[in-house]
Amino acid sequence: MFPSHIHPKDRVSICNPVTASKVAESFICGDSIAAGDNKIVIEAFPGPGALSRALLELPSSKIRKLIILEDNEHYLPYLRPLQEADPRVTVVPLSGFMWDTYFEIENMGLLEGVETVPWEGQQIHPHLHFISHLPHSIHGEQLIAQLYRHIPEHSWLYKYGRIPMSVIMGEWIWQRQSSSSGAASRCKVSVITEATAESKTSLDPALLLPYDDHFFPRTPRGAQERRPEVRRAGQPLIAANIIPYADQVIGKGMLDKWDYCLRRLFVQKSTPLKRAISSLAPGAQVLLKTLTDTNLPKEQRVDVMKKVRALTVADWALVMRAFDNWPFAPEACF
């Protein structure tokens, strides 16, 4: 299934059928936070389709429809036989990275009958499920960041409700997005991730090691590789399930303001908020009075001596409330 002449440098795929089965089960079955039956799965970047085959081999009650998104012409000959053999499969030769692709699958009627599940309840969407290998490239990093950013706006597939996502990604991406407050690696992505969704590894990362036992392409031997080390084949990978929270800290229409403040303040992430806050705009120090007002309950105040990277999501929500209420906030920046 994995001929040596096909080796896009930014595409890593499961090649071990046993591993593919374990990952598929960890995404859909058992104790998975994304588990369910009668799933309509949209799978992006499947490569030759080892994970696709494993999904189809799950009990028939699990998968109602598998929509495969793959625009690499080298992989299509390995995917189209699945469509020919199983009526549940539709192969769409478009990229999962392009937003127009998702409008196209709707126009094709592939999501006809998918119900919209209100966000106000505690139920995740019982059927629609997005699964992907994340490309080992800047595009892969951009894609996962954008998927999280769509959650507060209830846009993209989230217009149907709290859609579970299951993703195979580089360990370095997982570490960035799951970095806790106070950690040196804490960043803007970490805060957005923590604020919008519950993210959990779907199986023990050790089960995906060593890399060459489970993934393709193989680790390069001796050849010079110009890409950053973390994006090269051979680096550890993580399988994770991601469930959007029913109650979003980031309100609709507020994402640009969060993005602005996070970007500005994380430039000085090792600096106490009391000093860093001036980077938001001239006169922003006035926000400190609101954030430390002793007339407010303790849980509505922020310790402004905390370093920026040590701020919790609750702290950020209070910073954003003060910024949003500030008459002189630089709206032109949004």
Q: What is the mean pLDDT of residues 92-117?
A: 97
Same structural domain, 217 and 275 = no
The CA dihedral of 188, 190, 195, 200, to the nearest 10 degrees, is 160
| Tens digits of residue pLDDT in 29-44 | 999 999 999 999 999 9
**What pLDDT, on the 0 to 100 scale, is given for residue 136?**
85
Query: Does residue 223 register a pLDDT over 60?
Result: no
Q: What is the mean pLDDT of residues 242-260?
A: 96
pTM for the whole thing? 0.92
Same structural domain, 131 and 217 = yes
Query: Does residue 141 register a pLDDT over 70?
Result: yes
Same structural domain, 281 and 304 = yes
Same structural domain, 197 and 57 = yes
Query: Does residue 120 register a pLDDT over 80?
Result: yes
Same structural domain, 285 and 221 = no
| Tens digits of residue pLDDT in 254-278 | 999 999 999 999 999 999 999 999 9
The verdict on residue 50 lying in a domain is yes
Same structural domain, 51 and 167 = yes
Nearest to 133 by CA among 44, 70, 28: 44
The verdict on residue 217 lying in a domain is yes
Q: What is the mean pLDDT of residues 187-208?
A: 97
Under the banding of pLDDT at 50, 70 and 90, the label for residue 217 is confident
Query: Does residue 1 register a pLDDT over 60?
Result: no
Same structural domain, 273 and 238 = no
Same structural domain, 235 and 263 = no
**What pLDDT, on the 0 to 100 scale, is given for residue 9?**
66
Range of the domain at 138: 13-244
Same structural domain, 149 and 265 = no
Q: Where residue 260 sits, what CATH number does that domain have? A: 1.10.8.100
Same structural domain, 238 and 299 = no
The verdict on residue 302 lying in a domain is yes
Query: Does residue 232 register a pLDDT over 60?
Result: no
The verdict on residue 101 lying in a domain is yes
Residue 329 makes CB contacts below 8 A (sequence gap 6+) with 257, 280, 281, 323
Q: Are 65 and 72 in contact (CB under 8 A)?
A: no
| Domain end marker among 209, 224, 244 | 244
The verdict on residue 8 lying in a domain is no
Under the banding of pLDDT at 50, 70 and 90, the label for residue 137 is confident
Q: What is the mean pLDDT of residues 54-76?
A: 97
**What pLDDT, on the 0 to 100 scale, is given for residue 218?**
84
Rounded to whole angstroms, the Cα distance separating 242 from 198 reads: 6
**In the chain, how many domains are there?**
2
